[in-house]
């Protein structure tokens, strides 16, 4: 059993930062659900480490989103009554979480494993850190929405609401279509050991991540009018999503893998040169 003090320290730090941000909302219910989010991930880490599996890692994140959003929505409903904005925003997060969770769960069942976890699973502390980071992702991404929904006025339906809704719809479309196109591409035996550069992937090297960033930008805009004072700190959601996807996981890992596989190909070099990583070169 490999244990690294560094991984434990990182886990403590990210939890402390996330919890501290939740305290800035000055809403006790928010700090409570953030603790729930982390406890849920830490609990699921136990069987994941015992059985050395990552097969329910992604879907657990989606379930986490659903649980805390439903909890916040229901609590606000019984204390402040029905709010249409709260219902719509909760529903948006709900359908996004279900779609992404099911997609990732079916993908890993088909692939058999997530190669990123090969070097992570044997280390208890590193695997624990990974589950803690997922709780951080769930918490920070959803904080602005949770805060807006749990506020006394709830989510306000105004011009900003519809602007945010547009960002969400566009982002959801990009993510769903990009995932569908890549799945079909990978299923074709002729495409084995080749890279995708068709459909949305001809215009962006990572259109699914562009969609994800647009989704959380939209949710932040929808939540904006319901926030006040230090609660505006929770609007870091899209920035956090961008940094996480581009510099921590996602883009950084995929492009390193892509360069290793196809970096010697002229076609791949041209694709990298001409196609923006997300939206702009």
> Is pLDDT at 193 greater than 80 in this prediction?
yes
SS3 content of the chain, % helix, strand, coil (to 5): 80, 0, 20
**Element containing residue 125 per DSSP (H, E):** helix 124-150
- The pLDDT value given to residue 281: 67
- The pLDDT value given to residue 2: 62
> Is pLDDT at 23 greater than 70 in this prediction?
yes
Strand partners, 123: 2
Domain boundaries, the chain: 5-274
> Is pLDDT at 115 greater than 90 in this prediction?
no
What average pLDDT does range 264-277 have in this prediction? 92
What average pLDDT does range 7-12 have in this prediction? 93
Report which of residues 90 and 264 the model is more confident about: 90
Q: CA–CA separation, 91 vs 211, rounded Å?
A: 18
- Report residue 151: phi and psi, to 5°: -70, 165
What average pLDDT does range 205-216 have in this prediction? 97
- The pLDDT value given to residue 40: 97
- The pLDDT value given to residue 118: 85
**Over pLDDT 70: what percentage of the chain?**
99
What average pLDDT does range 73-77 have in this prediction? 96
Q: CA–CA separation, 110 vs 274, rounded Å?
A: 32
Q: Quick one: CA torsion of 190, 193, 198, 202, rounded to 10 degrees?
A: -170
* pTM score over 0.85: yes
Convert the pLDDT of each residue in 137-164 to its tens digit. Answer: 999 999 999 999 999 999 999 999 999 9
> Is pLDDT at 66 greater than 90 in this prediction?
yes
Cα separations in angstroms, 91 against 10, 97, 264: 33, 10, 45
Q: CA–CA separation, 21 vs 17, rounded Å?
A: 6
């Amino acid at each position: 059993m490999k244990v690294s003090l560094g991984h434990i320290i990182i886990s403590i730090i990210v939890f402390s930062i996330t919890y501290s941000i939740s305290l800035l909302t000055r809403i006790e219910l928010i700090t409570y659900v953030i603790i729930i989010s982390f406890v849920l991930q830490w609990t699921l880490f136990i069987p994941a480490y015992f059985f050395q599996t990552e097969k329910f890692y992604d879907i657990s994140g989606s379930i986490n989103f659903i649980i805390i959003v439903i909890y916040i929505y229901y609590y606000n409903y019984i204390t402040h009554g029905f709010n249409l904005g709260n219902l719509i925003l909760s529903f948006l997060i709900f359908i996004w979480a279900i779609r992404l969770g099911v997609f990732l769960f079916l993908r890993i069942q088909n692939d058999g494993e997530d190669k990123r976890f090969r070097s992570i699973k044997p280390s208890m502390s590193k695997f624990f850190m990974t589950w803690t980071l997922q709780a951080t992702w769930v918490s920070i991404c959803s904080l602005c929405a949770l805060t807006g929904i749990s506020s006394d006025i709830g989510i306000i339906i105004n011009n900003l609401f519809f602007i945010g809704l547009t960002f969400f719809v566009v982002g959801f479309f990009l993510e769903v279509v990009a995932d569908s196109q890549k799945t079909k591409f990978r299923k074709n035996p002729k495409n084995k050991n080749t890279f995708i550069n068709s459909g949305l992937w001809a215009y962006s090297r990572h259109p699914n991540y562009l969609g994800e960033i647009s989704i959380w930008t939209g949710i932040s805009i929808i939540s904006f009018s319901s926030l006040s004072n230090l609660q505006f700190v929770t609007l870091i959601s899209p920035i956090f999503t961008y940094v996480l996807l581009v510099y921590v996981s996602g883009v950084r890992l995929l492009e390193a893998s892509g360069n290793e596989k196809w970096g010697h190909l002229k076609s791949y070099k041209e694709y990298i040169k001409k196609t923006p990583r997300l939206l702009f070169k």
